[in-house]
Amino acid sequence: MAKAKKKQISEDTLQAAKEKFASGYFKPVVEKCEGCDRTVAFGDATYCGTYAFPDTKWKAGICNFASHVKPEISTSKVKINPLKASKRAMAGRK
């Protein structure tokens, strides 16, 4: 796969990001956010570029913005009655 190119950030965008994170409204990321593609390093702290309060996104389970965590999908096998399965198969052949 080809590597993704980094986007050129304009001065206006950079200034808006500085104001956003310096305002104090955005809280630093929690330990579970480490490795996410949405984190932004600003000053000596790392912030989530999408959500202002990252700790609340992890309270209910996995953060829906997390790009580094995949949800576990569990599948259960359903037991099929062989007699009914054979009757259904015979009905489909007619």
Question: pLDDT, tens digit, for every residue of 34-92?
Answer: 888 888 887 788 888 888 888 888 888 888 878 888 877 778 788 888 898 888 888 87
Average pLDDT over residues 2-31: 69
At residue 58, the pLDDT reads 86
pLDDT of residue 63: 85
Q: Is the pLDDT of residue 8 over 80?
A: no
Percent helix / strand / coil, the chain, rounded to 5: 35, 10, 55
Q: Would you state the pLDDT for residue 7? A: 52
pLDDT score recorded for residue 35: 86
